A and B are shown apart, each in its own frame.
Chain A
Amino acid sequence: MNIHNASWVRQDIIAASPRPAAQGGVAEWARKNLFNGWLSTLLTVASVTIVVWMAMALAPWLSNSIWRANSLAECRQILDGASGACWGVIRDRWPQLLFGFYPPHLYWRPVLTFALLIAALAPILFRAIPQRALWFSAVYPGFAYWLIWGGSLWFPVAVYCGVVVAAGLLYLTARVSRGLAVASATVGAALWWTYAVQLVSALADDVLPIALTPVASREIGGFLLSIIIGVTGIALSLPLGILLALGRRSSLPLIHLLSVTFIEFIRGVPLITLLFTASLLLNYFLPPGTNFDLILRVVIMVTLFASAYMAEVIRGGLAALPRGQYEAAEALGLDYWKAQRLVILPQALKISIPGIVNSFIGLFKDTTLVMFIGLLDPIALAAAIRANTDWQGIYWELFIFIGAVFFVFCFGMSRYSIHLERRLKTDHR
């Protein structure tokens, strides 16, 4: 085709004309998205009806909210027959829902612990915080334990000294052989924790007593308990899960077999069974009078449970990596741990982020199961509050409040995972 053979060719550009009035604007958007065909129209009308109906049903209940009442009977008296939410129960009992039976004059301790938790998490979660702040994150667990349970400061310090002992042994024996170094460090730390901790903390106490009023585990409840179990479980299950996932893919038969057995056993058993084991069965087998803290037992069980799931999530990420990555890492001359740390895990973990956060959220919500073994988590406290004659008969208000608090935490985790995914997105730009 030769353009010169054409009888007429336009040489200038037509000026843009405004689009027809019927196309564009709200009306066009609604037609395209809401009333596009009879099915779409039907669904739109149905859902709008449901939303309006729910709003109509809830609006009077919410707009008649009563905050200033000290019992359900008082609420009903104020409402005088109208339907309305009685939030007075939250005003009356929110310290209990947050802290359980923690002594009120010591509330500052869990509050400070929570504030410091945010400070300790910041350098791990966000890049903008200088990485030097990580030393605080490392010290935080011991400090948090001391703040919440009280007692002597030297006990957590002595426990931390075990890590120093292990590091020292590792450094001293590293030249002889790597296996020996790891073994001696492990044995040294274990010996320190079993025999020296009590002695050292008692000695330090004599020299310089620094102690807070001790608070017993049974006084800890409410969201404080949920957060203690949830955060500890989350923080411990990720590293354990990574080790288990690597163990399951290991070529050493013993490690492989142990990992598979552990993961499959824990995944095959409901969490509630493990919790009952922690609270009931251990009681039979431990010598009478053993003071093995119930919260500690529960944290251990929840961590084991979550780490088995975590291992499978991370194994999914490992399996998704192309074989070439493993071969490339080997071709670079990296040993196993360096290859995992520098090449494999950064990619595998990135792929697994949605699954990992999913497990975290599930774990945090599962903490409410501890009510079945007699620990006073928010749900159990709601039952206890309803048993008080002042608030007997109240129902939705407590559960809405508890649900809202859980939503804030879980939604926060979910948003952070999206942020992390975006930050780490390096492919397909």
Chain B
Amino acid sequence: MKLTIALAAVAAATLTSGIATAGTMADIQARGKLNCGVTGGQAGFSAPDASGVWHGMDVDYCRAIAAAVLKDPNAVNFIPTTGQTRFTALASGEIDILSRTTTWTFSRDVDLKFTFAGVNYYDGQAFMVPKSLGIKSAKDLDGATVCIQTGTTTELNLAEYFRKNNMKYEPVPVENNADVQQKYLAGGCDVYTSDGSDLASTRSSFKNPEHHIILPEVISKEPLGPLVRQGDDQWADVARWTLNALISAEELGITAENVEKLSAGSDNPDVNRLLGKEDKLGEMLGLDAEWAKRAIAAEGNYGEIFARNLGDKTPIALPRGLNAVWTDGGLMYGLPLR
């Protein structure tokens, strides 16, 4: 009984805080800074450099939003959150948007009362093994010892996958990513399982990355995306359409370099609409006509952001795979801006 009352109180407080901050975008513009929740450190997604400047996929997305809303890509407070604090930080209004490699799931969207703005990275759980084992497929992993981070969805996915394929395994639970690396390299387990992007960046940090392979099977769906509080549709629209503007920009060939030239006017009506020459998309969003132009100019289009943080030029060197635009066989499909 008491617990119910306490929960109701928490829910009521959440609700009121949601109502009180109904004008998130007005709050941000009054404050002059976007409060963006990121992870305290994940290679390629968000990490500070030696001078304290944050870099990564999730970080660049927040800079694009700041450019669109505040006309300054650097008007962002990056607030490191942990797996435990991220949702409360968003629900309580401490951050305006959570851009933190968060998987879009039913319960988070519906039960936790958030709105996902889309998917900025399609990830999936995979396996990494030393080449010397001679394993070519996850189906050969029967009886393997598997290193796994505790308390994550990967643990459940692993159990389900092995049960489905009638295989046995021995889990070696480890607290965090750095410890898993040490354990795996020391031979404490045959296989390391985690999200594909995590495996790739972990492998890139090894002394001899070529001695390890990532198996082709992807056993779970992990669509990662930014999210905002439910109930403020205008702000959710800004988040959703900024992401779509970045993806569309890649489809249309608009880059950070040529955006200035193209915004003077081009033959392609799609480009003109996106960059504010035709129609009044920005005004419908409550912004000005050049919002998307600034968002693209900030850190480039989706493809440029990917290339700079995860792509071939980085040590992580992830292939585009599912994250290529749909015309290249991927899942990135910019919704029509018109």
Contacts and interface: CB of A to CB of B under 8 A. Distances in A.
B79 A374 contact: yes
Contacts, number: 117
Contacts of A385: 41, 47-48
Interface string A290-305: 0000000000000000
Nearest to B80: A374
Contacts of B263: none
A73 interface: yes
Nearest to B41: A387
B145 interface: no
A380 B80 contact: yes
A284 interface: yes
Given A284-B13, A388-B47, A279 B205 contact: no
Given A104-B51, A284-B14, A388-B49, A374 B205 contact: no
Interface string B206-237: 11000000000000000000000000000000
Interface stretch (A143-151, A339-347, A389-397): A389-397
Nearest to B47: A387
Contacts of A395: 178, 181-182
B74 interface: no
Nearest to B179: A395
A380 B40 contact: yes
Contacts of B43: 387-389, 392
Contacts of A285: 13
Contacts of B20: 287-289
A289 B21 contact: yes
B159 to A, nearest CB: 26
A380 B80 CA distance: 10
Contacts of B84: 276, 280, 372-373
Interface stretch (B88-96, B112-120, B293-301): B88-96
Interface in A371-426: 371-374, 376, 380, 383-390, 392-393, 395
A101 B182 contact: no
Given A283-B88, A392-B43, A386 B178 contact: yes
Nearest to B10: A284
A72 interface: yes
B315 A73 contact: yes
A397 to B, nearest CB: 12
Given A289-B27, A373-B82, A380-B80, 16 more contacts: A101-B48, A279-B85, A283-B93, A287-B20, A288-B16, A371-B40, A372-B82, A372-B85, A374-B40, A376-B40, A383-B176, A385-B47, A387-B39, A388-B48, A389-B43, A389-B204
